[in-house]
Structure 1
Amino acid sequence: MNAVEVTGVSKVFRVAKGAEVVALDSVSLSVVPGEFVSLIGPSGCGKSTLLRLIADLDQPTAGEVLVFGKSARQARIDQDYGIAFQQAGLLPWRTVTGNIELPLELHGVGKAARRARAQDLLALVGLSDFADRYPDQLSGGMQQRVAIARSLAESPELLLMDEPFGALDEMTRERMQTELVRICAETGAAVVFVTHSIPEAVYLSSRVVVMSPRPGRIQEVVTVGLGSAGTRDDALREDAAFFASVKAVREALHGDAVHEKAPHSVRGVETR
């Protein structure tokens, strides 16, 4: 069973005076369990809209979205996925531990179990020494790590991430990317990740979904053959295969007609 199955999805927004904006047009995409898929495309192409449809934060005008074989709404009710956005969205009056515990508390998990889970997650994101700090005592990168830990609180098999590192400086962003691939390797969660950064998409992903300008369609899917998440580290950023994959995604993004095969990389249009 696929983690995500999007079939023939379109989304039309009604705006002023009865006008319509077609955000997505006949999009179909599958994400298998444990796979990391990035969505990339020009601003306004519908990549965040697609993520919101998967998360049941909005509903498609046409087509179907399934998460682990369930409707998006049922998957949300069952807490089958975690979500992280560009802003960490931490509650300033709660400690780091309190923020991580929040989803568990809302779903009636006992205090001892919540605390034990928070301690495990703090160790996973490397923040055990900051358990009793408040958000304003943390750097931006540390706040995002707390947000990722919170998204993992209920052990979801799917993470939905909308530019979670977009507001960070480049050095912090690269450190967070390395942390994320490590966390994904340890948890085995599938990820759908929205980004504007080609190098970020390539470094993180097993596949990069390139979307067209509005109305958003899947223009091309680039399969990135850079090894499993557990083997990726900073040295990969200097690898010839990494640069070749970045080139392949850039050409797809800009509609280049020349389809070159990069070393250890396959490039092709998704036919679903």
Structure 2
Amino acid sequence: MSQGRGFSVNQDVNDAVVVRDVSRVFEVRKGASVTALDDVSLTVAPGEFVSLIGRSGCGKSTLLRLIADLDTPTSGSIEVFGKPARQARIDQDYGIAFQQAGLLPWRTVTGNIELPLELHGVGTAARRARAAELIELVGLTEFARSYPDQLSGGMQQRVAIARALAERPSLLLMDEPFGALDEMTRERMQDELVRICAETNAAVVFVTHSIPEAVFLSDRVVVLEPRPGRIRSVLSVNLGRAAARGEDLREDEGFFQSVSQVRELLHGAPAAGARGVETR
């Protein structure tokens, strides 16, 4: 068992993500540094949806980048499905989606989704079949031959999610993918993501600033405190299986209660149902 700021990691060989005693210190200038994360430990189970939430500068995106092996911890370790994060990246065990869809403007919807498969040498027929499957999954069949500038912001994000799923990852890493969308589109995208996760059974680590979004999507909400970034508390969201979550949930009393609990935790107040010891 590994200890980290009052949180412990109970590791299972099948865990999707294990973050153990991770710190990240950035050198900002000679002789000066900023501690973005301090001794953070967390586990994510297969098929689990975990949101990271906290004030700006609390290290949410830094933690996501470390899991994705886009950055390296100053100390501590990270494993993805029992592998070092770097090996998991090489093996394409996860897909990534960011706030900006990042689609190639000269490629169609199909072409953008095919890109990671093409880069890894998948044959044309197999690429087309997988792209068609994912386009149907995200509800864009009639736009398969469209270009990004012909799509709305929400549709572009659906393409980005489909692209992240192209290689059938067992883990999705998502950094505020709906942050630039209007509220109505954002809620529709949340509904879509819940459905997609239920169908693919992928684990998700999701960064957001939105409390209602974190509650609606998640099995657990991890609340981080600001610099140095540490886990303040972990709240289990008991609102039923993802596949059963729909528009009506946003009017449910349990939903509002969970939103209030997360809000209290963000402001440093204790909330019933939150745990300050176990990370899973």
Q: Which residue among 57, 66, 70 is the counterpart of 1:44? A: 57
Which residue does the alignment assign to 2:145? 132
Which residue does the alignment assign to 1:157? 170
Which residue does the alignment assign to 2:251? 238
Which residue does the alignment assign to 1:223? 236
Aligned partners of 2:102, 2:84: CA distance in 1, in Å?
A: 26
TM-score (norm 2): 0.94
Is there any run of 5+ residues in structure 2 with no aligned partner, and where? 1-13
Does residue 27 of the first structure (1) align with residue 34 of the second (2)? Answer: no
Deviant stretches of 4+, over 2 Å: none
Aligned partners of 1:19, 1:256: CA distance in 2, in Å?
A: 32
Q: CA RMSD in A?
A: 0.7
Q: CA deviation at 1:171?
A: 0.1
Which residue does the alignment assign to 1:248? 261
Which residue does the alignment assign to 2:278? 271
Does residue 98 of the first structure (1) align with residue 111 of the second (2)? Answer: yes
Q: Which residue among 183, 189, 193 is the counterpart of 2:202? A: 189
Aligned partners of 1:256, 1:23: CA distance in 2, in Å?
A: 22
Percentage identity across paired residues of the two chains: 75
Q: Secondary structure at the match of 2:30?
A: helix
Aligned partners of 1:97, 1:81: CA distance in 2, in Å?
A: 20
Q: CA deviation at 1:268?
A: 1.6
Aligned partners of 1:137, 1:160: CA distance in 2, in Å?
A: 26
**Pairing 1:2-81 to 2, within 5 Å after superposition:** 2-81=15-94
Does residue 148 of the first structure (1) align with residue 161 of the second (2)? Answer: yes
Aligned partners of 1:193, 1:75: CA distance in 2, in Å?
A: 18
Does residue 113 of the first structure (1) align with residue 126 of the second (2)? Answer: yes
Is there any run of 5+ residues in structure 1 with no aligned partner, and where? 261-265
Q: Secondary structure at the match of 2:34?
A: strand
Aligned partners of 1:271, 1:241: CA distance in 2, in Å?
A: 23
AA in 1 matched with 2:31: G
Q: What are the superposed Cα offsets for residues 188-243 of structure 1, whole Å, 9 maximum, x if unpaired?
A: 00000000000000000000000001100000000000001100000000000000
